[in-house]
Amino acid sequence: MGIVSPAYSLKTYRDALDKGSVSSRQLIEDCLKAALDPSGEGPRAFMRLFESTARAAAEAADYLPVTSDLPLRGLPISIKDLFDVEGHTTCAGSVVLKGAPPAACDAAVVTRLKDAGAVLVGRTNMTEFAFSGLGLNPHYGTPRAPYAREEGRIPGGSSSGAAVSVSDGMAVAAIGSDTGGSIRIPAALCGLTGFKPTARRVPRDGVLPLSNSLDSIGPIAPTVACCALIDEVLSGEKHSLLDADAKSLHLGVVQGYVLDGLEPHVAASFAAALTALSRAGVRLSEVKFDALDEIPKSYRNGGIPAAESYVWHRELIERDADRYDPRVLARIVRGRDISEAEYAELLKERRNIIAASESAFAKVDAWIMPTVPRVAPLVAALEISDEAYFDANAAMLRNPSIFNFLDGCAISIPCHKPGEAPVGLMLAARSGSDTRLLQIASAVEGLLAEAGCVIQGRERFD
Contact of 414 with 358, CB cutoff 8 Å: no
Torsion angle of C-alpha atoms 412, 418, 420, 421, degrees rounded to 10? 30
What is the phi-psi region of residue 426: left when phi exceeds 0, alpha when psi lies from -120 to 50, beta otherwise? beta
With a cut of 60, say whether residue 83 has pLDDT above it. Answer: yes
Q: How far is 350 from 298, CA to CA, in rounded Å?
A: 8
Residue 387: band (very low, low, confident or very high) from pLDDT cuts 50, 70, 90: very high
With a cut of 70, say whether residue 245 has pLDDT above it. Answer: yes
Active site residue 298: no
Segments of the chain assigned to CATH 3.90.1300.10: 10-292+347-450
List the one residue out of 212, 177, 203 whose CA is nearest residue 108: 203
Residue of 24, 78, 94, 158 with catalytic role: 158
State residue 458's pLDDT score: 53
More confident residue, 108 or 289: 108
Q: Rg of the Cα trace of the chain?
A: 21
The string of pLDDT tens digits covering residues 409-421 is 999 999 999 999 9
Residues 6+ apart with CB under 8 A from 125: 44, 45, 46, 47, 81, 93, 137, 140, 141, 142, 143, 160, 161
The arithmetic mean of pLDDT across residues 207-234, rounded, is: 98
List the one residue out of 218, 238, 230 whose CA is nearest residue 14: 230
Going from the C-alpha of 338 to that of each of 304, 305, 309, 332, 350, the distances in angstroms are: 9, 11, 11, 11, 16
Residue 264: band (very low, low, confident or very high) from pLDDT cuts 50, 70, 90: very high
State residue 87's pLDDT score: 97
Per cent of the chain over pLDDT 90 is: 92
Residue of 5, 9, 80, 165 with catalytic role: 80
Residue 455: band (very low, low, confident or very high) from pLDDT cuts 50, 70, 90: low
| Residue type present at position 62 | D
Going from the C-alpha of 193 to that of each of 162, 163, 196, 379, 405, the distances in angstroms are: 12, 9, 10, 22, 21
Per cent of the chain over pLDDT 70 is: 98
State residue 66's pLDDT score: 85
Q: How far is 199 from 182, CA to CA, in rounded Å?
A: 13
C-alpha neighbours within 13 Å on the C-beta side of residue 80: 33
Residue 244: band (very low, low, confident or very high) from pLDDT cuts 50, 70, 90: confident
List the one residue out of 428, 441, 424, 457 whose CA is nearest residue 269: 424
Residue 461: band (very low, low, confident or very high) from pLDDT cuts 50, 70, 90: low
Going from the C-alpha of 346 to that of each of 215, 253, 300, 371, the distances in angstroms are: 16, 27, 9, 25
State residue 2's pLDDT score: 81
Q: Where are the beta strands (DSSP E) in 25-182?
A: 46-49, 76-80, 119-124, 173-178
State residue 256's pLDDT score: 97
- Angle subtended at Cα 378 by Cα 373 and Cα 380, rounded to the nearest 5 degrees: 140
The string of pLDDT tens digits covering residues 50-77 is 999 999 999 999 999 987 899 999 999 9
The arithmetic mean of pLDDT across residues 132-153, rounded, is: 98
Active site residue 24: no
10-292+347-450: CATH number: 3.90.1300.10
- Identify the weakest region by mean pLDDT among 65-69, 119-123, 313-317: 65-69
Active site residue 160: no
The string of pLDDT tens digits covering residues 99-110 is 999 999 999 999
Residue of 182, 235, 433, 442 with catalytic role: 182
